[in-house]
Amino acid sequence: MERKYDLRPDLHQPKRIISVFFPPALEEQRYRGNLREVAQMLKSKHEDKYTLFNLSEKRHDISRLNPKVQDFGWPDLHAPPLDKICSICKAMETWLNSDPQHVVVLHCKGNKGKTGVIVAAYMHYSKISASSTRGGRTLGLSCAPCTPRYISYFSGLLSGTIKMNSNTLFLHHVLIPAIPNYEASGGYQPIRKIYQSMQLVYTSGIYSVPGPGPQKLCVTLEPALLLKGDVMVKCYHKQTCSSDRDVVFRVQFHTCTIHGAQLWFGKDELDEAWQDERFPFEASVEFVFSSGPEKMKGLETLRNSPAITVDYNISDPMVRWDSYENFNLRHEDSLEGTYGHQHSHPQPPTPSRHRSYWPGL
């Protein structure tokens, strides 16, 4: 069978950490064959001295082929939640310190940056690397802006250079750029979705921005939205002549790192937008917070032009569509019907899986 995987320790990572990467477009039958081959190689060389950390969607076949599996998956091309980075590093440390022959295998089917972000995080955690800038990009990986941001969060919290903010935060306004010609034929119909810990907590209406006009579009949340922990804001554009949508930008941040009432992200800090020529180079996304739900004073100017309309039709598929629903509950191979009526084997407990290193995470 043709080999379609990468199994080797990276030059930048500790020798007892092995990364196993499978291309995202790998055909399912070939993936299963390659997965069996990898499992045989690991058992032959390491016997029961390895544990596999699955960074992708859960799969029954991974559990069947490997003696010890811990699932820590998160969506492809996204940064892992901060508490998940903590849990993975603690579990890796526990396993590696319990026996000098133990090795960790990082499994990823999809974007290779997943293994890079965990290797970088563990190097900070174990004090192998003291540089707060050593992230996925310095490991030779191409990754979106969210990944180095979360590595910076993690290393900053470990070193104390980032002071934790445990105060409550209420989001009042989101200001995004108005891009009247986002489509070639003209038109811009943005919709915003806000996720907390990958759970959808807010969906805006569908805005319609006519021709040249204001540089900013203000989304006011009434009542203000209480946020805590990992937050993701995703902006879509509803295509004019179809039911499809385009991702305008995606941004992830953690509330414990926010100090002050305003938070800005430039184009080069926004996933998707950073490589999109349609997104203005000088544009930014701005968030306005306060410590309470009361309407903020002095912000009366944050109003949209009367020419901008909003459609609050909750039956629109764009409004109801949730790309992350049940991500942590399903098994990828169950979706294909292969193992849909079988149960996965019981998993060994994960040390400190739900424990966080910093209060409030």
Contact at 8 Å (CB) between 54 and 71?
Answer: yes
Residue with tokens 């029961």: 48
Contact at 8 Å (CB) between 251 and 270?
Answer: yes
Residues 60 and 328: their CA atoms lie apart, in Å, by 13
Beta carbons within 8 Å of 274's beta carbon, 6+ residues apart = 144, 145, 267, 268
Q: Cis before residue 223, ω within 30 degrees of 0?
A: yes
Give the active site residue among 89, 108, 146, 235: 108
First to last CA, the chain: 45
C-alpha separations of 301 from 152, 216, 296, 305, 307 in Å: 34, 12, 12, 11, 16
Neighbours of 137 (CB within 10 A): 17
Is 86 known to be catalytic?
no
Contact at 8 Å (CB) between 201 and 195?
Answer: yes
- Sheet architecture: strand order including 69-71: 6-8, 17-22, 103-109, 50-54, 69-71
Angle at 30 between CA 26 and CA 36, to 5 degrees: 120
Contact at 8 Å (CB) between 361 and 83?
Answer: yes
- The token pair at 189 is 């119909």
Q: Residue 176: left (phi > 0), alpha (psi -120 to 50), or beta?
A: beta
> Which is nearest to 348 in space by CA: 88, 58, 89, 70?
70
Residue with tokens 């508490």: 83
- The token pair at 100 is 């000098």
Contact at 8 Å (CB) between 5 and 22?
Answer: yes
Q: Which helix or strand (DSSP H or E) is residue 311 part of?
A: strand 309-311
Catalytic residues: 108
